[in-house]
Amino acid sequence: MKTEVIPIDPLHIDATDLEQAAAIIRRGGLVAFPTETVYALGADVFNRTAVEAVFHAKGRPATDPLIVHIAHAEQVNQVAARMPLLAQQLAAAFWPGPLTLVLPRKESIPAEVSAGKNTVAVRLPAHPVICRLIEEAGVPVVGPSANRFGHTSPTSAQHVLDDLDERIDAVIDSGPTLIGVESTVLDVSGTEPCLLRPGGISLEQLHSYIPDLKFVPAYLNETSAATGPGMLLTHYAPRARLMLYDGSRDAVQIALIQGIAEQQQLGKSVGVLIIMDNPTRYEQAGAKVIHAGETLESAASGLFRAMRELDSQGVDVILADAPPASGIGLAIRDRLIRAASGQIIRVH
Ligand code: AMP
Ligand code: MG
């Protein structure tokens, strides 16, 4: 199938273009759309065939549940059986925004959406295009990240095409996404809230509502029964091998220079992905360098683009520096650790 690109300016949404995308959703097709986090792959949540097509297009195992996107808070009642008090408070505080709540599932949505679980993940995104699209389509829309399974998430329409061209009906192009890492996933369906994935809403922000919340990474092996793709150890990965360094600023800088030399001696073309650092010394050492950002926020926004760019420059190995775990740094570290298949090179 030919994948149509539908440009839509989020500040001046063209009703005809939006209707074209909504019609595709209504007839069971697949439309990739922008959110404030990353681009997602949309389909009618109530259409089982369309939901199955989302798994197929991504190459995603049927055991990995999808996040459902809604356009206004009341719409949660169409997909969740109930909204616990804590969920109501969190929704009031952080929606629209990058917080996904795992809630008891309503029986009326296809079990495939939740990979057969009795819960459903829901969020209200802060992006006018997807909210208008959901309203026009008249149904909540599933929206996993619009990449091939296990690969780096897309933060532009071109990234979506790089992974899914000719596998989906259309992609809405509204320019690069703002936040750049996926939503925070919080399970509030049981007695104890559980942070499943750090993301656009920080742990510190959640502490105002859940003071003792911690992130205990449940990194699982590919072979074990994972609860979702974000739980798999190797995920968000570029094609090049990613080696992640963690330690003091000075120690990491020295280790990166050494690492470049070692890889070059092995005949490898080396890329370096830095955050809040100066590229010059690594360029002088002969590496291709991408600076993801000068702040943690801009680094989150530029992280996946940096991985994709280094891949397209054909490097064999990417050396990366792990940022501090504060604020959105926790989400960046999580993505880098998974992109490095869980291996961290600790330097002092
Ligand atoms: P993605 O679709 O790429 O944004 O990833 C979706 C994330 O949401 C994965 O990390 C899943 O584990 C998580 N998720 C979705 N639905 C559920 C659910 N019902 N229970 C637990 N986690 C979920
Ligand atoms: Mg994903």
- 75 domain-assigned: yes
Structural domain including 299 reads: 241-346
**Joined tokens for residue 307:** 């991985």
- 25 domain-assigned: yes
* Residue segments in the chain with a per-residue pLDDT below the cut of 70: 219-233
Say whether both 217 and 245 belong to one domain.
Answer: no
Q: Is the CB of 227 under 6 A from ligand 1?
A: yes
Q: Is the CB of 273 under 6 A from ligand 1?
A: no
Say whether both 197 and 82 belong to one domain.
Answer: yes
Say whether both 50 and 199 belong to one domain.
Answer: yes
Q: What ligand has the least distance to the C-alpha of 119? A: 1
Q: Is the CB of 154 under 6 A from ligand 1?
A: no
Specify the residue with its C-alpha closest to ligand 1, atom 7: 230
Q: Is the CB of 331 under 6 A from ligand 1?
A: no
Say whether both 184 and 264 belong to one domain.
Answer: no
Element (H, E) at 103: strand 99-104
What local confidence, expressed as pLDDT, does residue 231 receive? 57
Residue 73, SS3 per DSSP: helix
62: left (phi over 0), alpha (psi -120 to 50) or beta: alpha
Alpha-carbon distance 54 to 33, whole Å?
A: 13
pLDDT digits (tens, 9 = 90+) for 293-315: 999 999 999 999 999 999 999 99
- 227 domain-assigned: no
Sheet holding 270-275, edge to edge: 288-293, 270-275, 317-321, 241-247, 344-347
Q: What number of residues does the chain have?
A: 348
Q: Is the CB of 302 under 6 A from ligand 1?
A: no
Q: Is the CB of 196 under 6 A from ligand 1?
A: yes
- 50 domain-assigned: yes
Of 188, 221, 254, the one marking the end of a domain is 221
Alpha-carbon distance 99 to 121, whole Å?
A: 10
- List CB-based neighbours of ion ligand 2 within 5 Å: 145
What local confidence, expressed as pLDDT, does residue 235 receive? 78
Say whether both 174 and 74 belong to one domain.
Answer: yes
- 235 domain-assigned: no
* CATH number assigned to the domain comprising residue 314: 3.40.50.11030
- 133 domain-assigned: yes
Q: Which atom of ligand 1 is nearest to the CA of 119?
A: 19
Say whether both 274 and 134 belong to one domain.
Answer: no
Alpha-carbon distance 191 to 30, whole Å?
A: 36
Give the Å distance between the CA of 147 and the centre of ligand 1: 14
Say whether both 25 and 135 belong to one domain.
Answer: yes
Say whether both 92 and 187 belong to one domain.
Answer: yes
- 226 domain-assigned: no
Alpha-carbon distance 291 to 306, whole Å?
A: 8
Say whether both 216 and 247 belong to one domain.
Answer: no
CA angle 256, 257, 259 (to 5 degrees): 60
Q: Which atom of ligand 1 is nearest to the CA of 226?
A: 12
* CATH number assigned to the domain comprising residue 182: 3.90.870.10
What local confidence, expressed as pLDDT, does residue 222 receive? 39
Number of folded domains that form the chain: 2
Alpha-carbon distance 98 to 105, whole Å?
A: 20
What local confidence, expressed as pLDDT, does residue 275 receive? 96
- 229 domain-assigned: no
Q: What ligand has the least distance to the C-alpha of 219? A: 1
Q: What ligand has the least distance to the C-alpha of 118? A: 1
Say whether both 207 and 271 belong to one domain.
Answer: no
Say whether both 138 and 249 belong to one domain.
Answer: no
pTM (predicted TM-score): 0.94
